[in-house]
Amino acid sequence: MVVEPYEKWENMYKKCGFTLIELAISIVIVGLLMGGIFRYLDIQQTKKTI
């Protein structure tokens, strides 16, 4: 069976890497988690100084 060059590139493209949407969603999730952690640490820090 002879594989057309187009089909070869199409198969390679589908297999590798993340899409921009997946990266954006993961960055948003990490940002929300970090925001919650920093808010908690800030509250603990202000309680400690009082």
Residue 45: its pLDDT value, please?
A: 86
Six-digit token pair at 18?
């993340």
Residue 44: its pLDDT value, please?
A: 87
Pairwise CA distance, residues 44 & 36, whole Å: 12
Q: How far is CA 41 from CA 1, 16, 18, 27, in A?
A: 62, 38, 32, 21
Residue 6: its pLDDT value, please?
A: 60
Residue 27: its pLDDT value, please?
A: 97
Residue 48: its pLDDT value, please?
A: 80
The one-digit pLDDT tens for each residue of the chain (50 residues) are 555 566 666 666 666 778 899 999 999 999 999 999 999 998 888 888 76
3-state DSSP assignment of residue 33: helix
Six-digit token pair at 13?
């493209």
